[in-house]
Amino acid sequence: MKRICVYPRVEGVGGIASFRLKFEAGLARRGFETTNNLKESFDALLVLAGRREMNALWKVKGRGIRIVQRLDGINWVQRVRWAGVRYTLRAEYGNALLAFIRRRIADRVVYQSEFIRGWWEGWYGVAKAPATTILNGVDLDTYTPEGAHERPGDKVRMLVLEGNLKGGLDTGLFHAVALAEKLAEKYPMEVAVAGGVDEGTKNRLKSSLPIRFLGVLPREQIPQLIRSSHFMFSAEVNPPCPNSVIEALACGLPVAGFDSGALRELVGEEAGRIVPYGGDPWKLDPPDIHALAEAVREIIDDQPRYRKAARARAESALGVERMVDEYLRVLVGEEK
């Protein structure tokens, strides 16, 4: 029986932690054992994030074990706006560590989207190791349009679902409120925000609309929350490959946002509305809220069509079983 090391053992609700849990469960269904300990015996290593244990990674490489690095986006907001000393230092250190692993240690590189691949290759050059792109996946049986929901019938609920909207990552939250206020000219609106938001940001969000800050919710509550909304606004600027978007689509929730990052790669042409940003997202220019509001009205006015298309998009390209199989081909098989 083959054994895969998935390192590090990231805990939490979304992002890397969510991927690790889904991937390890997928491996178990296929008869693979998993470990998160670099000192144990295994047949291949999947590196999910940068850590200080460089000596341990070098030892794994010296044992002739294939090392595959899964890459997310690059920390960049701190280079455009002040995000605090702690955030800036951690962001730049993280970039340097991941770039070093990519350049010196990884035998294979997996990018989570074509956008991420172009980003890394543009900033740090093409990796020497063979590379491929594998979109994230979702459990289509857990995240489904079927099931309990509390979608209001007297107002439109816009969902903002992100793991972290604190500090330097809060820009998109202000865009969300501006979008809701524009839509409120025609529809009664409510904004539901699930994710970490600091008190300073909450205090600066001035709006006459009801904004519900739900905090970081347990994973098992997310499907019902998604089903209880009318559309999701993807708040992250230049999103690398957000799990929240994939989960929304799987639950039949159409997604709206600006054409930056990997958003169009995930949503496609029918499962929501993606419009030009209207400025330079890399400079955090103000986006074209009016254009997005005009597009979102189509989603609101034709919910059945967009909800059906959202689920179809997830089923066709974003299932977790497809994702696990593609990772296994890189880890222990022969890639094309």
The per-residue pLDDT for range 43-94, each reduced to its tens digit, is 999 999 887 788 899 999 999 999 999 999 999 988 988 888 988 998 999 9
pLDDT in tens, 4-17: 999 998 887 667 88
Residues 6+ apart with CB under 8 A from 97: 50, 51, 52
**pLDDT in the model for residue 13:** 67
Contact assessment for residue 228 and residue 251, using Cβ atoms and an 8 Å cutoff: no
How does residue 169 score in pLDDT terms, banded at 50, 70 and 90?
low
Residue 100, both tokens: 């070093």
Contact assessment for residue 16 and residue 22, using Cβ atoms and an 8 Å cutoff: no
Mark residue 243 as left, alpha or beta (left: phi above 0; alpha: psi -120 to 50; beta: remaining). alpha
- Euclidean distance between CA atoms 148 and 2, whole angstroms: 39
Contact assessment for residue 165 and residue 177, using Cβ atoms and an 8 Å cutoff: no
| pLDDT tops 70 at residue 245 | yes
Residues 174-194, buried b or exposed e (16+ Cβ, 10 A)? ebbbbbbbbbbeebebbbbbb
Contact assessment for residue 120 and residue 101, using Cβ atoms and an 8 Å cutoff: no
Residue 192, both tokens: 């539901």
DSSP-assigned letters across all residues of 186-233: TS-EEEEEEEE--HHHHHH---SS-EEEEES--GGGHHHHHHT-SEEE
Work out the burial of residue 280: count CB atoms within 10 Å of its CB; fewer than 13 is exposed, 13-18 middle, 19 or more buried. exposed
**pLDDT in the model for residue 234:** 96
Residues 85-124, buried b or exposed e (16+ Cβ, 10 A)? eebbeebeeebeebbebbeebbbbbbbbbebbbebbeeee
CA-to-CA dists, residue 223 to 142, 244, 248, angstroms:
7, 10, 8
Look up the pTM and report it.
0.92
Residue 215, both tokens: 């905090």
How does residue 168 score in pLDDT terms, banded at 50, 70 and 90?
low
Contact assessment for residue 91 and residue 78, using Cβ atoms and an 8 Å cutoff: yes
Which residue, chain included where needed, has tokens 């999701």?
232
| pLDDT tops 70 at residue 269 | yes
Work out the burial of residue 283: count CB atoms within 10 Å of its CB; fewer than 13 is exposed, 13-18 middle, 19 or more buried. exposed
Query: pLDDT above 90 covers what percent of the chain?
Result: 79
Please report the beta strands in the chain, taking only residues with DSSP state E, as ranges in sequence order.
3-7, 33-35, 44-47, 66-71, 108-111, 131-133, 156-164, 189-196, 211-215, 231-233, 255-258, 272-275
- Mean pLDDT on 91-106: 94
**pLDDT in the model for residue 201:** 81
- What structural domains does the chain harbor? 3-137+320-331 (3.40.50.2000), 156-317 (3.40.50.2000)
**pLDDT in the model for residue 267:** 97
**pLDDT in the model for residue 334:** 55
Q: Is 244 helix (H, G, I), strand (E, B) or coil?
A: helix
| pLDDT tops 50 at residue 335 | no
- Euclidean distance between CA atoms 134 and 319, whole angstroms: 11
Q: Is 174 helix (H, G, I), strand (E, B) or coil?
A: helix
